[in-house]
Amino acid sequence: MNTLQKALIGNAIFSTTSAFILLLFSTQVQHWFGVQLQWPFGIIGLGLIFFAGTIFMEIKRQRKAAVYAIIIQDILWVLGSMALLLLQPFGISNLGNGLIAIVALIVLLFAIFQYCGLRKTETEV
């Protein structure tokens, strides 16, 4: 198993786990975030399941364009998280902001590892 596959597996597992937490424990997550609406967590959870599915498909295939698309989506997640943390548009609690920051850091690390793994795979071919 190469570096790219390990990074993709980690990202897929993390995304799937996060999705199920958001879907199965949305009331608790809503409480942690200190917000009024619960449904956005379900929407994000469903999106993460779809995203994880696309990652799982690329573990074996490792198509360059598809992996770059995954990396770009990870970076967009990080940028969106930074915007939430800086702009504070929804009155999210300190705990919620901390969770956003932790998840964003993990996603950033996956983007970096996937990029490095892709570059390594390209040089080996």
Q: Domain segments of the chain: what residues?
A: 3-124
Mean pLDDT for the stretch of residues 69-94: 98
Pick from 87, 76, 81, 92: which is nearest to 33 by CA? 92
Q: pLDDT digits over 106-121, tens only?
A: 999 999 999 999 999 8
pLDDT at 124 over 80: no
Mean pLDDT for the stretch of residues 6-19: 98
pLDDT value, residue 121 = 87
| Residue 125 pLDDT class (50, 70, 90 cuts) | low
| Residue 53 pLDDT class (50, 70, 90 cuts) | very high
Tokens of 11: 């990202």
Mean pLDDT for the stretch of residues 8-15: 98
